[in-house]
Structure formats: structure tokens, C-alpha cells
Amino acid sequence: MSIHDLQNMNRIHSLLLASLALSSFALTQTARVDPKVVLSHIRAIQQEAQEKQKRGEAVSEPKTQAQIDKVVADAISGVDPKKVPVEECRDWMTLYQYAKRDADVATVAERGYAQRAFDLMEMDSYIVRRMIDEGKLTEALGRVRNTGFSAGPAMVGQFQLGIARSLAAQAPKHLNEVLAIYDALIDRIHFGAPLSDADHSWGAVAYAAISSEKYALLYDSGKKEQALKALNLLAKEMAKHPESKDAYSQSAASYVAKTIARLTSPDGQSSLLGRPAPALVSDRSLGGPASLGSLKGKVVVLDFMAHWCGPCKRALPELAKLQDRLGPKGLQIVSLTGYYGYFGARTGLKPDAEFAEMGRFVKDFGMAWPVLFDATAKNNSNYAVSAIPQLVVIDRNGIVRKIEVGYEPTEFAKTVRLLEDLTGK
């Protein structure tokens, strides 16, 4: 094969690449633009120009740039940078950079960063939880102080949920170290600073929730008087923030009040055990409606969860296996959730939009069971939900047999054994 033949083959290969990219790009115009296809088209144009230069052919740089500009202009036409899929943000940033639309580059970057921050939070939560489980509390403290995710109060609150069970397990022997980690979390919440409306609303709530958990551990350690004094002072401080609210419109002060009631009252989760399960409330559902009455004779697992909750998502694959294995023997899982006003990096969502997002979430996690939505939080109140995930096991006679808060494999294994006994394996 001559050098001339090889050059011709290279040229044909480059033209084929450009043709394939153009073809794929044209197809996306009838549906949704795939930025990777567009970038591939641009690279094919650039590669063809380089091949011509290598062969000594004249190349007009302005003409090549005009081709690229046209491809980019067609791709971004009609695209809202605020709504591009978060997993495509990097590619859309590149396209907007080609178009020299810096404001749109920044908009997409902010959208992508929000999702990245959430992903980093979940990863940091797992790493810190492992450190705590292994007794590396000093290392865990350092990690909490220097976590990679942004310090928005709602994000810090979710991070705390992921490590709360591990901290509680270490508290009896290492109380001071555990309290120091809680202090580090509290220090990262700046609810008095300029924040987005969502973070300003959540700020005091996250502060109250994390502080309340800290003082609850102090109470459980035997320092009851000191803990209650601190909680009462916290309640007065949080009363100054009536504007605060979580997804269920509960204020920061109500979180503190619930903690005090939980510590000083015999009522709560323990009072549910051995008694008939309260009725379920919902305004809509995915996977079909469900009520305890309609599930009479089955062993029911109520899964209190949320789409933003890392431990909840870690438990879902195990719950799916459980439903597949024990469903034919009479097990029925029912998940219960609410509306939070956001999903991933998308904020300001109305209930209908969040419900639609949850439809995709349910499919992605293989949740082949009913998911009930309760905008009133009555289910949470009736079942004394203090943290999520919370599993409630109900036997065939409708009696509450176990309540498991959080997701920890060893404890979950015990719940599985109970369910095997209740369903007769």
C-alpha cells in the first residue's frame, strides 16, 4: 500500500466519522440534543481540517470555525441551561464555552456543582461512618471539619443522618469524641448568614435537629439534668426563628420540643410495640394504593424513607431482595414518604413535579411495591418517626412487632430473620 493510498484511507475515515456524527446529531434534533454527539461532530470537523493540513491542502480557519459555530448554535438553540440534565453539565458547559456565553456556562456549572456537592456528601458520609465504626473518631472529626461538599444547612443535616447511628453506638465509650463531632457539624451550619430561601428556611431546623441529637446522647449517658438544661436553652433560642420549616412545615422549635418529649415521656416508639398498627394516611401513591386493611393477613414492612436520604437508598436494594424472596410467602413492603420541594439538584419543585421525579426514582431502585405520599406527616407522627429510614414490622394480625431506625447491616439481618419467622420462610 502506497503512502498516497494510506492518506486517502485516512481521509475517508475522517469523512466517515464526520458523516456518522452529523447523522446522529440530526437524529437528536428530532428528540433531545445529546451534547456528546455534538462534541463528537465538532471533533470530526477539527480532525478533518488537521488531516487536510497534513496533506498540504489549503484550510480556511474562518470557514472551519464557521462550521463549528453553526453546529454549536443549532445544538444550544431552544435549550434552557437551567434545565439540562445534571449528568450532562460538563458537556453543556463546553458547548456554551464554544458559543462564548459565559453567563450560561456559569448557570450550568452551578447546576452541576449542586449535584456534585450532593454526591460528595453521600461519599463523605460513607467514609466518615466507616471511620466511626472502626473507632477512628479523631480521623472522623477531621473529615467532618473538612468535608468536600458545600456547607448548606440541609446538606449538613442529611450528612448527620448518615452517621447518626454509628455515633450513637460509639457514645457510651467515647462520649466526648462523639460530642466533638456533633459540635463540628453544628459549626458548619450558618443559618444567620445570607442563604438561598430553601437553606434559610432549613437552616435553623438543621441546627435544632443536630443539636437536639447531641443533647439526647448526653441525656442517655446519664447527664440528664445537664442535657435538659441545654435543650431548654436551645428551645428558647429556636423560638426566635418562627420562619424556619422543614418539608413538613415543622419549625426548629418543634424539633427541640419533640426531643424533650421523647426523652422525658414513656410514650413513643416503645408504646407501639405489641399493639395494633395505626392506620396509614396518603394523598396519592405509586405502584397502587395500599392500606393496612387491604393487607390484612400479610406480614407488612413499613419503610419510612425519602429520595434524598443516603441510608434509605442503601437499604432499598436489600428491601427489593426481601420482597422478591418473601413476597410469595406473604410479605408486603410499603414505603412512605412526603414532599420536600426539591429532587437532586432541582429546587423549588411543586408536589406534582416531585411526584413525577419519584416515579423515575422508584423505577431506578426497583421498588416493586406501593409508595405512599403523605403531605400532612401524620404517618410520621403516628409511628413516632424520629429519623429515617425507619422500618416497622407488622405481623399477620396487624400487631407491631419491631421498629428499626436507620440502616445498619447487622441490625437489618436481625429484622430479616424476624420476617422469615413471621412468614414461615
- Which residues constitute the domain of residue 302? 271-424
| Tally of structural domains, the chain | 2
What is the C-alpha to C-alpha distance for residues 66 and 59, in angstroms, rounded to an integer?
Answer: 13
Do 294 and 188 reside in the same domain of the chain?
no
What is the C-alpha to C-alpha distance for residues 179 and 220, in angstroms, rounded to an integer?
Answer: 13
Is the pLDDT reported for residue 198 higher than 90? no
Using an 8 Å Cβ cutoff, are 131 and 163 in contact?
no
Do 196 and 222 reside in the same domain of the chain?
yes
80 domain-assigned: no
What is the C-alpha to C-alpha distance for residues 202 and 204, in angstroms, rounded to an integer?
Answer: 6
Using an 8 Å Cβ cutoff, are 344 and 358 in contact?
no
71 domain-assigned: no
The crossing angle, in degrees rounded to 10, of helices 3-29 and 35-54 is 160
215 domain-assigned: yes
Q: What percentage of the chain carries pLDDT values higher than 90?
A: 37
Q: What CATH number is given to the structural domain containing 152?
A: 1.25.40
Residue 214 neighbours by CB under 8 Å, 6+ apart: 179, 182, 183, 186
Is the model more confident about 11 or about 116?
Answer: 116
Residue 14 neighbours by CB under 8 Å, 6+ apart: 44, 47, 48, 51
Considering only CA atoms, give the Rg of the chain: 27
Phi first, then psi, for residue 221 (nearest 5°) are -80, -5
| This model's pTM is above 0.85 | no
| Boundary (domain end) residue, out of 264, 299, 333 | 264
pLDDT of residue 425: 60
Using an 8 Å Cβ cutoff, are 392 and 270 in contact?
no
Do 371 and 405 reside in the same domain of the chain?
yes
pLDDT of residue 149: 63
Residue 58 neighbours by CB under 8 Å, 6+ apart: 52
Burial classification of residue 30, based on how many CB atoms lie within 10 Å of its CB (0-12 exposed, 13-18 middle, 19 or more buried): exposed
Is the model more confident about 425 or about 325?
Answer: 325
Q: How far apart are the first and last CA of the chain?
A: 71
pLDDT of residue 30: 36
**Res. 415 pLDDT band, cuts 50 70 90:** very high
Is the pLDDT reported for residue 249 higher than 70? no
What is the C-alpha to C-alpha distance for residues 156 and 161, in angstroms, rounded to an integer?
Answer: 9
29 domain-assigned: no
Phi first, then psi, for residue 192 (nearest 5°) are -95, -10
**Res. 226 pLDDT band, cuts 50 70 90:** very high
pLDDT of residue 265: 66
Residue 53, number of CB atoms within 10 A of its CB: 11
pLDDT of residue 151: 58
Do 210 and 189 reside in the same domain of the chain?
yes
Is the pLDDT reported for residue 306 higher than 60? yes
What's the mean pLDDT in 101-129? 82
Phi first, then psi, for residue 285 (nearest 5°) are -150, 160
| Boundary (domain end) residue, out of 211, 232, 264 | 264
Mean pLDDT, the chain, integer: 83
What's the mean pLDDT in 286-291? 84
Do 260 and 190 reside in the same domain of the chain?
yes
Query: Identity (one letter) of the amino acid at 218?
Result: L
Do 126 and 260 reside in the same domain of the chain?
yes
Residues 279-303 as b/e (b if ≥16 CB within 10 A, e otherwise) read ebbbeebbeeebebeebeebbbbbb
Do 276 and 254 reside in the same domain of the chain?
no
Do 307 and 384 reside in the same domain of the chain?
yes
Phi first, then psi, for residue 172 (nearest 5°) are -55, -35
**Calculated CA dihedral for residues 17, 21, 27, 30, nearest 10 degrees:** -160
Do 418 and 326 reside in the same domain of the chain?
yes
Residue 404 neighbours by CB under 8 Å, 6+ apart: 390, 391, 393, 411, 412, 415
**Res. 31 pLDDT band, cuts 50 70 90:** very low
pLDDT per position as a tens digit, 40-94: 999 999 999 898 888 888 888 889 999 999 999 999 998 988 888 878 888 999 9
314 domain-assigned: yes
360 domain-assigned: yes
12 domain-assigned: no
| Boundary (domain end) residue, out of 231, 264, 297 | 264
Q: What CATH number is given to the structural domain containing 290?
A: 3.40.30.10
pLDDT per position as a tens digit, 327-336: 999 999 999 9
19 domain-assigned: no
Do 254 and 291 reside in the same domain of the chain?
no
pLDDT per position as a tens digit, 338-383: 888 878 767 778 889 999 999 999 998 999 999 999 888 788 878 8
Is the model more confident about 62 or about 10?
Answer: 62
Do 336 and 212 reside in the same domain of the chain?
no
Is the model more confident about 188 or about 39?
Answer: 39
Is the pLDDT reported for residue 108 higher than 60? yes
Q: How far from 320 is each of 314, 334, 356, CA to CA, in Å?
A: 11, 11, 21
Q: What angle do CA 213, 217, 218 make, to 5 degrees?
A: 115
Do 167 and 213 reside in the same domain of the chain?
yes
Whether the bond between 389 and the residue before it is cis, its omega within 30 degrees of 0, is yes
